[in-house]
Amino acid sequence: MRRLSGRFRSALIIGLQGIRARKMRTLLSMVSLFLGVLAVVVVQAGASIADKALLSDIELASAVDGTTIIGMPMEPKATDIVLDTVDGRTDAVAMLGLTAMIGEPNVTPVNPGAAPFDEDWGGGVVCYGTGPCEPADTLPKGQAVEVRLTAMTGDVRPFRPLRPRTGQWLEFGTVPAMAPRLVVNREAAKGFERYKVPAEMRIGGATANITPQFVGVVDDGDIQPRAYVRLDELATWLPSAGVADPNSGGEMQVLVAPGSPVEQVLTTKLKAIGSETWVQTVDTKKEMESQLKLLRLVFLAMASLVLLIGVAGILNVGLATVGERVEEFALRRAVGTPRMLLAGIVLAETLLTGLFTAAVAIGLSAAGLRAVSVLFGDSEPFLKDLQFPWEAGIAGIIAGLVAGILGGFIPALRAAGIPIATVMRA
């Protein structure tokens, strides 16, 4: 072990001396290798970032991996069972989807059908505080915005990582407010910014018109205008019969954490009353990985090709260098340096060159990523606060080491085979 350590240190010292003595050659080797290592780092970094960006978008719109989503139509009995079952729990949250109109009464909203504000979906309904909704076509256009309203029994963010933009998120630990607090998504915020509407909300089945408080804006990945509200704050104005009204066009979802008993309890209870449910466990990563795997392999193959060209460069420079150092290697053998150590010296030089190159490529990639994040983070949210993925750093180091070994192997063999008699004949 001690002998190995001595040889390793000797190879390292002599290798570093060799690199220092031939700076230009080392630089040329690095240049030829740089693009290859950079390609590997960029492909790996790009793939990791794309994975995360895609995954985070899908999680935003659906739910985090492992979450079980139980969907069911809005029926009075089913709603009661759901609310009873998830009440006070943190491992499950029920989300009731309703339609709400905010703004002037008795008008057709600017976006019938809760359509995105730059699209026209046609149709739409208008709802009154005391009764069911009716088609909006019959009413004149006015200053009102139609939104999808999601009423929640608890904090949904452990299941769907909604991204806060401005203001604050709903606080579930406090006493319910009389004026329900709303957090709107970015599309809804755009609508309220564009159309100055009175803060009066109408929901089908509500006992009266509601004056909501807007407390924040989130990014939920939804293209429709949507508002989030605490169910208990809405319940002050909306009796359970109204919440569960099948004619309101509502929908109900329960998000359940992995390993929670709620799924089994709820499906059993709902089955008992004959309510139709559909259950889905989110496994986005697995589905996405199979799709991205091929693409990543194709890019990695291309990067490997560029790396191979870099290896050819380092090999070329390495062979030329050994040719120039014949006397030095012969002399080193004469003073007792074993052949293995001579090979080790050449390999140490190419390995160190590979590592230096990898360090430069990783450093530049990280700096480039930071610059892209700063420059384009505002316009492209997925670029905001980007971190250089450690997988890309490891891939770069491995690429540098592999290139160093491949490029240095033949020169190392040549160096080890130089006869000592070279110094005698000189």
Q: Which is nearer to another protein, 15 or 103 (CB)?
A: 15
CA 121 from centre of chain: 31
| Closer CB to another protein, 375 or 421, in the complex | 421
Q: Is the dihedral of CA 210, 214, 215, 217 positive or negative?
A: positive
**Residue pointed to by tokens 């240095």:** 408
C-beta closer to another protein: residue 196 or 425 = 425
Task: Kindly tell me the number of DSSP H helices and DSSP E strands found in the chain.
Answer: 12, 12
Residues 6+ apart with CB under 8 A from 380: none
> Can you tell me which residue has the tokens 């090999």?
315
Q: Which is nearer to another protein, 175 or 335 (CB)?
A: 335
Q: Contact residues for another protein (CB under 8 A)?
A: 2-3, 5-7, 9-11, 13-14, 17, 20-21, 327-328, 331-341, 344, 419-421, 423-426
Question: What CA–CA distance (Å, rounded) separates 295 from 48?
Answer: 12
Distance of CA 79 to the CA centre of its chain: 34
Smallest separation (angstroms) from another protein to the CB of 32: 22
Write out the DSSP string of 311-374.
Answer: HHHHHHHHHHHHHHTHHHHHHHHHTT--HHHHHHHHHHHHHHHHHHHHHHHHHHHHHHHHHHHH
| Residue 195 to residue 125: CA distance in whole angstroms | 19
**Minimum distance of another protein from residue 402's CB (angstroms):** 25
Q: Which is nearer to another protein, 8 or 390 (CB)?
A: 8
- CB nearer to another protein: pick between 289 and 324: 324
To another protein, the closest distance from the beta carbon of 413 in angstroms equals 15
Nearer Cβ to another protein (351/402): 351
Distance, CA of 47 to CA of 302 (rounded, Å) = 14
Please tell me the distance from the alpha carbon of residue 48 to that of residue 185, in angstroms, as a whole number. Answer: 27
Distance in Å, CB of 338 to another protein, minimum? 5
**Least CB distance to another protein at residue 340 (A):** 8
Shortest distance, CB of residue 321 to another protein, whole angstroms? 13
Nearest to 238, CA basis, from 28, 406, 79, 16 = 79
Query: What single-letter DSSP state applies at residue 267?
Result: H
Which CB, 206 or 343, lies closer to another protein? 343
Strands 181-185, 213-219: pairing is parallel
CB of 327 to another protein, least distance (A): 6
Tell the smallest beta-carbon distance from residue 353 to another protein (Å): 17
For tokens 């004149």, name the residue: 140
418, 419, 416, 411: which is closest to 319 by C-alpha? 411
Which residue lies nearer to another protein by CB, 135 or 338?
338
Can you tell me the distance from the alpha carbon of 391 to that of 52, in angstroms, rounded to the nearest whole number?
13
